């Protein structure tokens, strides 16, 4: 296939670029590098199956030649980013989704949206199945990200129903691994940077809030299976092994082999108290479930961060 991949220089996008090329596909990697990083894809440049285009998908997209699939991963997914760039976040979720769907419609291509577990907001149901409608504050500071993705999902399914486009929606839960950006506001790089730097670990709230961490290679497996499937409705992709932030802090210290003081700060507004995917649908429809446990994934990630110093 010839694939248009937006956000292809980002953390997840760069790993997906590699996997698609390995599978024999040609990639048009589109990214405006506001949060993506060229170093993530430097090793792919020069590959005849890889083309990089510096472009903001919130603006009109024009692609010459055939396109068999459009994968829309462009987004400002970190709290630091969507709080700093609230309007850009809304635009990439709305205008960016509209523009990429336009390419899929014009080219007769299949389409995959990278959505998020944040569509569930601060959930009143745990674990969260795809049938749960969520508990989102639409006007809170996190609403720019949550609602941009909820709108994107609605738009994708509208194109599926109105134009017959073969659409896929991946609701991605907390994912970690090599190429995460330092200091991007997410707990994995924050803790790892702090432990490597000999700093205290910053825990927001009392640390009892939970997350479910999926290693990036497992997520990429799920995205590839979803792309190749005939499933059009949203599918949760994440690791159902739930851990509290305090437990996670201790795991980071254990894998890193270093002790650190824990300091507590105020919990951000509308921060979810629980986060755990129900992956029954992914198991049944895609034959997918995570393989990499937290200790193994953290060891790989910490090693990468140390080598990056």
Polymer length of the chain = 309
Distance in angstroms (rounded) separating the CA atoms of residues 107 and 130: 29
The dihedral sign for the CA sequence 288, 294, 295, 300? positive
Asked if residue 78 has a cis previous peptide bond (ω within 30° of 0), the answer is no
To the query of whether residue 145 is one of the catalytic residues in this protein, the response is: yes
Q: Which of 47, 131, 35 is nearest to 83 (CA)?
A: 35
- For the record, the structure tokens of 192 come out as 């790892």
| CA distance linking residue 177 with residue 167, whole number of Å | 27
Cβ(17)–Cβ(71) below 8 Å = no
Dihedrals φ, ψ of 160, to 5°? -65, -45
Residues 287/244, Cβ–Cβ less than 8 Å: no
C-alpha–C-alpha distance, residues 76 and 34, integer Å: 8
The closest of 179, 172, 219, 202 to 300, measured between CA atoms, is 179
How wide is the angle at C-alpha 210 spanned by C-alphas 209 and 216, nearest 5°? Answer: 140
CB distance 211 to 243 below 8 Å: yes
**How distant, in Å, are the alpha carbons of 4, 64, 142, 277, 278 from that of 188?**
29, 39, 19, 18, 22
Q: What is the largest CA-CA distance in the chain?
A: 56
Residue partners of 63: CB distance under 8 A and separation at least 6: 4, 28, 103, 107
Q: Kindly name the residue from 111, 120, 145, 159 that is annotated as catalytic.
A: 145
| Paired tokens of 146 | 């949550």
Active-site residue numbers?
145
């Amino acid at each position: 296939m010839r694939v248009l991949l937006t956000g292809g220089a980002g953390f997840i996008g760069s790993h997906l670029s590699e996997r698609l090329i390995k599978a024999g596909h040609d990639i048009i990697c589109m990214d405006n590098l506001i949060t993506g990083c060229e170093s993530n894809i430097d090793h792919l440049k020069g590959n005849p199956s890889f083309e990089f285009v510096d472009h903001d998908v919130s603006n009109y997209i024009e692609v010459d030649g055939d396109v068999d699939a459009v994968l829309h991963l462009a987004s400002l997914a970190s709290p630091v980013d969507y709080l700093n760039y609230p309007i850009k976040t809304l635009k990439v979720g709305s205008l960016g989704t509209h523009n990429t769907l336009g390419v899929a419609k014009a080219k007769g291509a299949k389409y995959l949206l990278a959505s998020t577990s944040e569509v569930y907001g601060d959930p009143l149901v745990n674990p969260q199945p795809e049938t749960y409608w969520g508990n989102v504050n639409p006007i809170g500071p996190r609403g720019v990200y949550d609602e941009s993705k909820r709108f994107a999902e609605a738009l994708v399914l509208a194109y599926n129903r109105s134009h017959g486009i073969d659409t896929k929606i991946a609701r991605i839960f907390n994912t970690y691994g090599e190429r995460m950006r330092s200091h991007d506001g997410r707990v994995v790089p924050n803790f790892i940077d702090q432990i490597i730097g000999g700093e205290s670990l910053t825990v927001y709230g009392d640390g009892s809030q939970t997350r479910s961490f999926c290693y990036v290679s497992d997520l990429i497996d799920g995205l590839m299976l979803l792309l190749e499937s005939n499933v059009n409705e949203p599918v949760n992709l994440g690791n159902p092994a739930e851990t509290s932030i305090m437990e996670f802090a201790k795991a980071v210290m254990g894998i890193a082999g270093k002790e650190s003081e824990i300091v507590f700060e105020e919990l951000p507004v509308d921060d979810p108290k629980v986060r755990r995917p129900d992956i029954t649908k992914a198991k049944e429809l895609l034959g997918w479930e995570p393989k990499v446990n937290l200790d193994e994934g953290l060891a790989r990630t910490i090693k990468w961060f140390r080598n990056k110093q």
